[in-house]
Amino acid sequence: MRYIPSTEKQQVEMLKDIGVSCFEDLIQNVPKKFRLDKPLNLPPALSELELEEKITNLAKKNTDFYSTKPLIGAGAYRHFIPEAQKSLLQREEFWTCYTPYQPELSQGTLQSMFEFQSFIARLTKMDVIVPSIFDGASATAEAALMALRLTHRNKIIISKLIHPHYLKTIYTYLAPHHIEIIELPCQDGLTQMKQLEQILDESTAALIVQSPNFLGGIENLSQFSEMVHQKKALMIDIIAESMSLGILKAPGDLGVDIVAGNVQSFGMDLNLGGPYNAFLATKKQYIRQIPGRIAGETKDARGNRAFVMTFRAREQDIRREKATSNMCTNHNLNVVAANIYLSLMGTEGIYQYALLNAKMAHYLEKKLLKSGKFEKIFNYPYFNEFLIQYKGEIEELNQILSNHHFLPPLAVYPLIPEKKYENALLFAVTEIFNRNELDHITSILS
Amino acid sequence: MRYIPSTEKQQVEMLKDIGVSCFEDLIQNVPKKFRLDKPLNLPPALSELELEEKITNLAKKNTDFYSTKPLIGAGAYRHFIPEAQKSLLQREEFWTCYTPYQPELSQGTLQSMFEFQSFIARLTKMDVIVPSIFDGASATAEAALMALRLTHRNKIIISKLIHPHYLKTIYTYLAPHHIEIIELPCQDGLTQMKQLEQILDESTAALIVQSPNFLGGIENLSQFSEMVHQKKALMIDIIAESMSLGILKAPGDLGVDIVAGNVQSFGMDLNLGGPYNAFLATKKQYIRQIPGRIAGETKDARGNRAFVMTFRAREQDIRREKATSNMCTNHNLNVVAANIYLSLMGTEGIYQYALLNAKMAHYLEKKLLKSGKFEKIFNYPYFNEFLIQYKGEIEELNQILSNHHFLPPLAVYPLIPEKKYENALLFAVTEIFNRNELDHITSILS
Amino acid sequence: MKLIFEKSIPGRDGFSLPSDLFEEIEIDKDIPEDFLDKNKKNLVEVSEVDVIRHFTKLSKLNYGVDDGLYPLGSCTMKYNPRINEKMASLGQFTHAHPLASIKMIQGSLEVMYQLNLLLCEITGMDQYTMAPASGAHGELTGNLIMRQYFVDHGEKRTKMLIPDSAHGTNPASAAMAGFEVIEIKSTSNGTVDLDALQNAMDEHTVGLMLTNPNTVGLYDGGIESIERIIHQKGGLLYYDGANLNASLGIMRPGDVGFDVVHLNLHKTFSTPHGGGGPGAGVIGVKERLIPYLPTPIIDYNANEKYFYLKDNGEKSIGMVRSFWGNFAVLVKTYAWILSLGPEYLYQASKTSIINANYVLKKLKKYYKPAYDQYCGHECTLTGREYKKYNIKTLHIAKRLMDYGIHPPTIYFPHFEPYAEETIMIEPPESESKENLDEFINVMIQISQEAESNPEILLSAPHNTPIGKTDDVLAVTKPILTYDDELRSIEQEK
Amino acid sequence: MKLIFEKSIPGRDGFSLPSDLFEEIEIDKDIPEDFLDKNKKNLVEVSEVDVIRHFTKLSKLNYGVDDGLYPLGSCTMKYNPRINEKMASLGQFTHAHPLASIKMIQGSLEVMYQLNLLLCEITGMDQYTMAPASGAHGELTGNLIMRQYFVDHGEKRTKMLIPDSAHGTNPASAAMAGFEVIEIKSTSNGTVDLDALQNAMDEHTVGLMLTNPNTVGLYDGGIESIERIIHQKGGLLYYDGANLNASLGIMRPGDVGFDVVHLNLHKTFSTPHGGGGPGAGVIGVKERLIPYLPTPIIDYNANEKYFYLKDNGEKSIGMVRSFWGNFAVLVKTYAWILSLGPEYLYQASKTSIINANYVLKKLKKYYKPAYDQYCGHECTLTGREYKKYNIKTLHIAKRLMDYGIHPPTIYFPHFEPYAEETIMIEPPESESKENLDEFINVMIQISQEAESNPEILLSAPHNTPIGKTDDVLAVTKPILTYDDELRSIEQEK
Ligand SMILES: Cc1ncc(COP(=O)(O)O)c(C=O)c1O
Ligand SMILES: Cc1ncc(COP(=O)(O)O)c(C=O)c1O
C-alpha cells in the first residue's frame, strides 16, 4: 500500500528483532474478547483514480458554487482570494508540520503567528492578540468565559443581534457555570440601549455586542463601552465580517476590552462553514486570563531575533484543569492564510476592498428600493450587509436568483421567527460582484 | 502594480542616481521615429478577479474534458496522474528556476535529469539518454539529423506508419539538407518489410520505424535492425506511447541504435498538445553527435557526489553554428514530472499499468467485434491502440459517444486518405477506463 | 529574518482592484462619520513578489512531515496524502456556503453522512457529530453531552475521573464542563490503578476519561474491570481517541463499552496538522446519548431521497460552534478511509505497533524504558541515565535536530516518577524501517555524545535556522506584536 | 543526496491499481511472445511517502526566482505570477485532447486566437504561429520561413548574417536551416559595425538576425541603417525577441522593419523557465510571409462564429512539431498581458531599463563596464581588474551564491575583447530597489574580497548544498545513469 512503506518481509524481520513470534504477541493487553476477529465491514480500498472519481461525483451533487455568487453572508463571506496566497499555502512546510513546540524548527509558523498578531493589533487597536480560536462562535464563548474569570462576576448581557450560532454556542459553553444570561433586544436593527441601563449592575461581568451585527447594523460601541465601564464591567465586541475593519473605527478606539473576531473574510474559502478562524484581542493587563496560543518575540542562543509560543503557563498542557481553556489544536494554518492575505492586501488593499464592499452594498440596496419590489425595514448604518423587505414571494425570488446562478440572500425568519421578519432578506455584497451583475440582479427581481 | 515593486518615488530617486533627468534619456539609442508615442492599443489591465473570470469562461467554452474520457490517443494519451506528482511539481524551486548552468544551486533539477536518464536507460536498455527534446516530432527529426551526421550518408528511409505529425516534421527539418527521403508503405497494419530490401543501400543513413506504430501495430524491430545493420545504416525507433515499454521488449534488446520517445504518457496532461516531452537514447559511442542537454555525475570540491550538465561541447552556446543542435530551452520541467511519475509507479506500477492498458484495449476490441457493428481491418499485434472498421456512420458514432461523455476515437481517413480507411477508427484505451465504461461504450454503439 | 513590516515601502501594492470602484456612491453619506475611521489602518505596503519571497523563505524555516521523521509521541505525525488535499479543494466543496439550501449542498451532506457510517463501523459507535473542531473541542462537547445526560436523568454528578497519565486537555475540558477533576494515579505499570478507580468511583461521579492505548503508549490490560467499575456505578466511559492509531481493525471502543468517543481526524485519519490545526475532533456516542449531541445532525430522508440537517431536538446540548463542522477536514478523512479499506486500516495500526516496539527494543539499552513491556503505537523511554552529565531529554531533543530529525515528545507525560525525563516516540505506519534504523542510530550516537561530549548536547541545536530560544525572555519582556517591538526599540533609545 | 534508486526496497510500492485487472484476458495470446518482455523492467520500488520526501528534499537543493534575485543576463528571470499557473491548470484546458473536434475546443482556440492579436499589437507584426516550443525552435522556424520565401521567389540565398554578439542559438539555428553563417563583428560600442554589414550583405544573403537591445544590453542606434542595408539587397530582417523586455510599449520591431520576430514567452511574458523549459518561442511575421508559416494557423470563421485550425496551404514550411503549440504556456502569456494592460506593459520595460542602468551606475566603479553608455534592460560589466588576483568572473559568480544571490550570466557574451570576463546583469521589473541595493552592496563587498582575500573567492561557494563541481571529471569519466555508476563502482572493486 503506497502510504505504508514497510514490506511484509521487513515486518517479519522487525518482529524477529523485537523477539516475538507474531504480531498478536504485541497486543496481548487487548483482551481477546475485544479483539476483532474479522475485518471491519467497510468498502474495499479504492485506487486513487477510483477515489477521485467517486468524490468528484459527490462534489458534483452540489450546485456549481464556483459560478454561483452568493448574495448571502450571515457569518460566512465569499471574498476574492489572490492565487498567490493559495499557492503559498500549499508549501508543505506550512501544512504538514505540528504545533510549533520546537521553535528551532518552526520559525515559519511562529513568525507568521506574530505577524498576524501585529496585523490584528493594528486593525483593532488592541494590545494582545490570540491568533487562533476555532471560529467566531467559540471565540465569543471564550471571550465570555474570560470576562467571567477577570471580573469574578456572574452575569453576562448579550445583544440578541449577535450571530444566532454564536449566541447558541455561548449558551452551550456557559450552561455548566450557573451564569445569568440576559439578552438585549433589537430596536431598528440595532441593539437596544435603553433597557441596558436597567440591567447593568455590579454583578455584570460583560456586555457582548456584535458590530456590524447579525442584521448588518453598525452598533454604537463607544456609547455601550461607556455605560459598561461605569459598572466596571467589560465590553466585548464581536466581529463576524472582519473586512469591515478596513473602514470602520477600530474597537480599541471605542473603549472595547475584548474583541472576538471571525477572520474568515481574510483569505478563507466558505467550505460549508469550516475551517475558519477567529482571533481574541484584549488589553495587556488581561493577558493572563486569555485562552489560546500566543507567539512572542525573544532571542536565540546566537543573539538573533526569534519567536516562541509564550505565556504558556495559561495552557492546558501545563495547567491542566486550571488552564484558561482546553484549547490545544486550533486553526493555525488559517492564521498563515490570513497573514498572507493581509500582506498582499496591505494598508491600501484592505481599505479599498472594504470601501468597495460598502459602496456596492449600498448601490444594490438603492437599486432594489428603486425597483419598487423592496422596502426598507430599518434606517440603520450598515457595512456590506443589509436587511430589506421583499414584497413578493421569497420562494419565487430564490428560484429566480438560482436560475440566474446567484445564491439567494438569507431569509432571516427561520432564524429569528418574528412577524416583522417574515419577508425580510439579509443581502451581503462583496467585491466579487460587479456593476453588471448587481444591475442584472435588480432587473431579474423587478 | 502588484508585479512591479518599485514605486514612482523610487524610480525618480534611481533616475537621479543614474544622473539623468528623465527616463527618455536612457533610451536615446531608440530612434525617435520608432518610439511609440501612444500606449499600445490593448485592453486595459484586469484585476485578478476579472482575469480569472474571463479565462475561466473561455475554458468553459471547451467541452468538460475532465469528465469526457478519450477513446482517442494518436500520440497524446490520457493516463492517470497521481496527485503526489502534481503536488510536488508545484514546488517553486522546480519551476521558477533557470536551466541548471550553476550546478551548486541546481542539484534538484540536475539529479532529477540524471534519475530520469537512469529510468529511461532501464526502460529502453540504451546507454546514453538525452532527457528533453520538445516532443516526439522534433525528437524524431533530431534523431534523423543525428543519423546523417553519424553516417555521413544522405538517404533516410521512413515508415509511413510513424505519427503523421512526426513525419511532417521530419520533412520540414530535412528540407534544407538535400536528403533523399523514402517512405515505406503499410502492409496489414505494419511497415512493409519486403520493399525495404530493395531500397536499403550504402547511402542509407537510417531507417525510422515507430513501434507501436501510428495505427497501433507492434513492429518487428529486431528484424528491421538486422536488415539495416547489414548495410551499416542506423536503426531508429520512435515511441509515441511510452507506456508500452512496460511490457514490450526494450529497443536496446532489438538492435536499435537511436530511440526517440515521446514520454507524455509518463505524467503529463494532454494540454491540447503541449508541452509534452521526448527523450533521445543511443549507444555510448554516438554520444558526441547527440543533441540536447545531458546530466552527468561528478564530484564537488568537498568530494561528494554532484551532478552537472555534461558533454557541453556539443551545444549551441559553445559551438554555435557547429553545434549538434540549436536546442537551448527544452522541456526540463516535464523531465522532473516524468521522473516523479516513474518513481511513484516503479517496477511494478509501470508493468501493471502497461499490462492493464493492453488487456483493456483487447477487451474492448473483442467486445466491439462481438457487437456486430465493427469489423477487423488488420490482424496485427497491438498494445493499447487498435484500428477497427465501423459499419455505421462515423458522424453518428461521434454523436453517440459525445452524448455519453466519451471523446470519440480517431477517424484516420482525414489523416491517411486511403479508401480502406474510410470507416476506420483508431481506438486508444488506457487504465482510466473501467469495465463498466467499456461495456457501456459497446452497448451504446451496438 | 525580517518581518513583512520591515519590507514595507510607501506606495507599493500587492493587490488588484477592478476599474469600476462605484465612485458615485458617497459612503460617508450612508455611514455616520462617527463610525468611520478617518485614517486607513496602517498595515503594510508590499508587492506580490515580496509576499511570495517572504513566505517562501518563512516556509523553509519550518520542518514538516514531508521533510523527514516526525516521531512526536501522542501526535501521530503520519503522511498526509496529496489526493486528500485535492479532493478537499474541489470548487463545489470549497465555495459551498453553509447556509445554502440543502438541495444545493447534497454532495457535501452525503460526504458527512457517509463518513458518519464509516466512523461508526470503525469504532463501534452509533452516531457521530461532525461539529467539534479539535480533540479538545470534542472533549468539551463529550463532557457536555455526559453532563446533559445526567441532568436529563435527574442525577447530580459533579466529578470526573481522569488518570494522571491523561493529556492536559482532558482535565481542562472536564473543568470547562463544570466538573471537578479527580486524578487517578497510575500503577508502576503505567496503567490505571483499579483500586484507586474503584475507590474514587461513586454515584456523584460522571465517569472516566480514558485514552487507550494511553498516553504512554500502553494498552490498559484492565479495561474490562475499568468498564465494570464505571458502569456499575451508573457512570459513563469516555474514550479519548487521540491514540486510535493503535486500534484500527484491532479493537473498537464501542465494543469495549465506551459511551462517548472522540477521534482526532488530524492524527489517526491522516489529515494534516497544519502547524497547529485545523483538525477535527468528531464525537461518537452510543444510542442512548444521541439525543444530547450538538445540533444539527446530518440525516437522510430515505423516502424523498435527500440528505438534510436535522435539528437534534430539545435535549441537545445546543451548538458548540458556528455552522456544521470543519468540512474540508472531513473530506480528507473520508478519502483516506476509502483509500485504505478494511485491510489497510488494519495494516496501518499493525505497522505502527510493530514500528514502536521495534524502536523500543533497539533503544532500550540506551534509554531506559518507562515501562518494561510491549507498547502500542508509541513507546516511552527516559533519559534518566544522562542526568549525571547534566543532560536532560530537552538536550537530547535539541541535538536530534542537528541530525535533521524532528524530536519526539519530551514535555509529556509529566507525571511521576518520570517527570521531565521521558521521551515519547511515535513512529506511525508511514515510516519505513530504514527511517527508523537511521533514527535509532542517531539516538545511540547521541547517547554516546551525552557521555563523551555533553557540551555538544547542552549547546544544541547547531544546524537549525535559529539557535535555542530564550523562552523566559519572551515572558519577562513580552513583545507580542511588531508595534511592541517598535516601542521597545524606542524605549531602549 | 541519495538517488531514488538507492531508496528502493523490494516489495514496496507507490502506485494504486483498481480491483478489476481484467484477469480473464491472456495478453500473451494476443501479443506474440517475441515482442513481450519476459521480465519486468527494473525501475525502482518506493512508496508515495518516499517519493514525497525525496523530491521535497531535491527541490530544496534548487534556487528559484521565488528565492531571491536571479539577475541572469539575457534570461529575464522575472516573477511568475501564480494566477497564470492557475489559469493554465483549469481542467477544461489541461485535459483537452489536441485531436478533439474543433467544436469541443473552442475555448482553447479562442485563447490562441486572441493571443495572436495581442502579440501582433505589441510587436507590430501581422500574424503569429504558436507552434515553436522555445526561442531556438522559433529561430529555426523563422529561418525555414525565410528560406521558403526565397525558394518560392526563385532566389538562391544561402548565407545568414549574424552579429558576433548574438546568442549561440542564432548561428546554430541558421545552420540547421542550411545557411552558411557569416559573423558580423561589433564595433567597440558593442553594436553592429555598419560597414562590415554593408560589405557582407549581398543578393546571396538571406538577411540578418538581430537582437535589440542586443545581448550585451545595448539598443543598436544604427537600426535605421541596418534596416536599409538588409532590405536594399532584398534581404529579410529577423528579430530575436529574447530581449523584448526592454521594448514593451517603447518600440515595436514591426515598425522598425523586421520581417520575422520570435518572442520568448518564457522571458518577456513571465511564464516560468521551469529549470530549462517548457517555454514557447512563437514567431510573428509580416503579411508577405504569412503563407510560409507552419501549418495550421488558428483562424476565426466570422460568419459561422467559430475558431478553427486552418491548413496554411502549399507554401507553408509544414509542421515543426506535433500538434499546435505549448498551449499551457500560451495561457499564461495571455493572462499576463491582460493583467498588465498597455500601461503596465510599458511600466515593465521602463522599470527594467531603469533597474539595469541603476545597477550599471552603482557598480561601474568596481566592475568596469564593457561599454560606457546607457544600457537597455541589462548591463554588461567586466571583472578584468581582478585578473591580477587570479580572480575570474566565475569566482565572483560562485562567491555571490554565498550571499544567497543567484549569479548573473558569466559565460556569455563570449566575443572579444571581453571573452570570459563579462558579467551580464539583468534585473527585471519585478526586482525592487532594495533588492538591487543589496545586490550592489554584495558585489562591492566581493570586489573588496577579491583584493583582500582572493582565496575566499577561489574556493567559493561555501554555503551552498554542494561545493564547486568538477566539470571535467564528468566528461573524462562519464557516468550518465545510475547503472553507469553501479558499473563504475563494480570496476573499482
Ligand atoms: C491523548 C490526547 N488527547 C487529546 C488531545 C487533544 O487533541 P487536539 O490537539 O486536537 O485538541 C491530544 C493532542 O495532542 C492527545 O494527544
Ligand atoms: C538572445 C537570446 N536569443 C535566443 C535565445 C534562445 O531561447 P530559448 O532558450 O528559448 O531557445 C536566448 C535564450 O537564452 C537568448 O538569450
CB contact set of C98 (below 8 Å; sequence gap of 6+): A76, A270, A272, A273, A274, C323, C324
Those residues whose C-beta lies under 8 Å from the C-beta of residue A258, and which sit 6 or more positions away, are: A143, A146, A147, A206, A234, A235, A236, A237, A280, A281, A282, A286
Residues D43-56: pLDDT tens digits? 999 999 999 999 99
Residue A433 and residue A425: Cα distance in Å, rounded? 18
Note the pLDDT of residue A317: 84
**Closest residue to C18, CB basis, from B1, B47, B84:** B47
Residue C413: what pLDDT? 66
Q: What is the pLDDT of residue B286?
A: 97
pLDDT higher than threshold 60 for residue C418: no
Nearest residue of chain C to residue D52 (CA atoms): C66
Separation of alpha carbons D261 and D281, rounded Å: 10
**B interface residues, A as partner, C-beta within 8 Å:** 2, 48-50, 52, 56, 66, 80, 82-83, 87, 90-91, 344, 431-432, 434
Q: State whether D172 and B300 contact (CB < 8 Å).
A: no
Which residue, by CA, sits nearest to atom 14 of ligand 1? C75
CB contact under 8 A, B48 and A432: no
Among B118-127, D246-255, D384-393, the least confident range = D384-393
Q: What is the ipTM of this complex?
A: 0.97
Higher-pLDDT residue of A315, C150: C150
Average pLDDT over residues C256-262: 98
Q: Which atom of ligand 2 is nearest to the CA of D166?
A: 1
Contact status, residue B407 vs residue B69, Cβ threshold 8 Å: yes
Tell me, yes or no, if B64 comes closer than 8 A to chain C by beta carbon.
no
**What does the pLDDT read at residue A322?**
87
Contact list, D91 vs chain C (CB under 8 Å): none
Task: Identify which of B48, B431, B432 has the shortest CB distance to residue A83.
Answer: B48
Nearest CA in chain C to A399: C101
Contact check, Cβ <8 Å, C9/D49: no
Residues of chain D with Cβ-Cβ distance to C432 below 8 Å are: 9, 12, 47, 49-50
C-alpha angle A421-A425-A429 in degrees, rounded to nearest 5 = 150
Asked if the C-beta of A379 comes within 8 angstroms of chain C's C-beta atoms, the answer is no
Q: Among all ligands shown, which has an atom nearest to the Cα of D137?
A: 2
Q: Which three cell numbers stand for residue C162?
A: 481522569
Cell numbers found for residue D39: 521480465
Closest ligand to C133 CA?
1
C-alpha cell at D190: 558593442
At B68, is the pLDDT very low, low, confident or very high (cuts 50, 70, 90)?
very high
Pocket lining: D169 vs ligand 2, CB cutoff 6 Å: yes
Ligand 2 center from residue D243 Cα (angstroms): 9
Supply the pLDDT for residue D409. Answer: 92
pLDDT tens digits, residue range B162-221? 999 999 999 999 999 999 999 999 999 999 999 999 999 999 999 999 999 999 999 999
pLDDT in tens, B372-419: 999 999 999 999 999 999 999 999 999 999 999 999 999 999 988 889
Residue B416 confidence (pLDDT): 87
Please name the CATH architecture into which domain A69-79+346-445 falls.
Alpha-Beta Complex (3.90)
Nearest to A361 by CA among A438, A270, A247, A442: A438
Q: Which residues line ligand 1 (CB under 6 A)?
A: A 328-329; C 74-75, 134-136, 167, 169, 211, 215, 240, 242-243, 264, 279, 281
- For ligand 2, is residue D211 a contact (CB within 6 Å)? yes
The residue contributing the CA closest to ligand 2 atom 8 is D135
Q: Give C-chain residues touching D68 at CB under 8 angstroms.
A: 53
Interface of C with B (CB under 8 A): 9-19, 46-50, 52, 56, 81-83, 85-86
Q: Whose CA is nearest to atom 9 of ligand 1?
A: A329
pLDDT of residue D413: 66
Q: How many angstroms separate the alpha carbon of residue C265 from the centre of ligand 1?
A: 11
**pLDDT reading at D411 higher than 90:** no
Residue owning grid cell 422596502: A375
- Ordered by start, the domain boundaries in chain C are 82-339
Q: Using the mean position of ligand 2's atoms as its centre, give its distance from the Cα of residue D166 in Å.
A: 10
Please give the pLDDT value at position B132. Answer: 98
- Chain segment C303-360, per-residue pLDDT in tens: 999 999 999 999 999 999 999 999 999 999 999 999 999 999 999 999 999 999 999 9
The residue-averaged pLDDT of C234-260 equals: 98
pLDDT tens per residue, range B237-285: 999 999 999 999 999 999 999 999 999 999 999 999 999 999 999 999 9
Q: Does the distance separating the beta carbons of B8 and C12 come in below 8 Å?
A: no
Rounded to whole angstroms, the Cα distance separating B355 from B384 reads 9
Contact C400, C446 (CB under 8 A): yes
Which pLDDT does position D420 carry in this prediction? 65
Task: Report chain B's C-alpha Rg in angstroms.
Answer: 25
Cβ contact D85–A92 (<8 Å): no
Q: Is the CB of D145 under 6 A from ligand 2?
A: no
B308-355: pLDDT as tens digits: 999 988 888 888 888 889 999 999 999 999 999 999 999 999 999 999
Q: Judged by CB atoms within 8 Å, which residues 147-166 of B form the interface with D? A: 163, 165-166
Question: What does the pLDDT look like over C197-224, one tens digit per residue?
Answer: 999 999 999 999 999 999 889 999 999 9
**For ligand 2, is residue D167 a contact (CB within 6 Å)?**
yes
Q: Which of B187, B182, B257 has its CA nearest to residue B224?
A: B257
C-alpha cell at B271: 494540454
Q: What is the value of pTM for the model shown? A: 0.98
Write down which chains contact chain B via at least 3 CB pairs under 8 A.
A, C, D
Do D50 and A82 count as a contact with CB atoms less than 8 A apart? no
Q: Which chains border A (3 or more CB–CB pairs < 8 Å)? A: B, C, D
D461 lines ligand 2 (CB under 6 A): no
Residues facing residue D183 across a β-bridge: D162
CB–CB contact B297 D470 (8 Å): no
The stretches of C31-162 forming alpha helices (DSSP H) are 48-59, 82-88, 91-94, 106-123, 135-152
Asked if the Cβ–Cβ distance from D66 to C81 is below 8 Å, we say no
From the number of C-beta atoms within 10 Å of its C-beta (0-12, 13-18, 19+), residue C203 rates as: exposed
Q: Which residue of B has its CA nearest to A434?
A: B50
Topology adopted by domain B83-341: Aspartate Aminotransferase; domain 2 (3.40.640)
d(CA A165, CA A379): 25
Residue D446 has pLDDT above 60, yes or no: yes
Domains B69-79+346-445 and B83-341 belong to one CATH topology: no
Domain ranges within chain B, ordered by starting residue: 69-79+346-445, 83-341
Q: Give the CATH class of C82-339.
A: alpha beta
Interface test with B, best of D480, D486, D488 (most B CBs within 10 A): D480
- Give the helix/strand (H/E) hosting A9: helix A8-18
- Across the B:D interface, residue pairs with CB atoms under 8 Å apart total 704
Q: How far is B362 from chain D (nearest CA, A)?
A: 8
Cα–Cα dist B206/B162, whole Å = 14
Task: Pick the atom of ligand 2 nearest to B329's CA.
Answer: 9
- Cβ distance B29 to D220 less than 8 Å, yes or no, reads yes
B48 and A90: CB-CB below 8 Å?
A: no
Mean pLDDT confidence for D311-319: 97
Cα A214 to Cα A217, A417, A428, C281, D433, distances in angstroms? 7, 14, 11, 28, 46
Cβ–Cβ gap D52/C79 under 8 Å: yes
- Residue B296's pLDDT band, with cuts at 50, 70 and 90, is very high
- pLDDT bin (cut points 50, 70, 90) of residue C493 is confident
Each residue's pLDDT expressed in tens, for chain A with a length of 446 residues: 999 999 999 999 999 999 999 999 999 999 999 999 999 999 999 999 999 999 999 999 999 999 999 999 999 999 999 999 999 999 999 999 999 999 999 999 999 999 999 999 999 999 999 999 999 999 999 999 999 999 999 999 999 999 999 999 999 999 999 999 999 999 999 999 999 999 999 999 999 999 999 999 999 999 999 999 999 999 999 999 999 999 999 999 999 999 999 999 999 999 999 999 999 999 999 999 999 999 999 999 999 999 999 998 888 888 888 889 999 999 999 999 999 999 999 999 999 999 999 999 999 999 999 999 999 999 999 999 999 999 999 999 999 999 999 999 999 999 888 899 999 999 999 999 999 999 999 999 99
Q: What distances in angstroms separate CA C105 from CA A306, B82, C99, C290, C333, one per listed residue?
A: 45, 28, 9, 24, 19
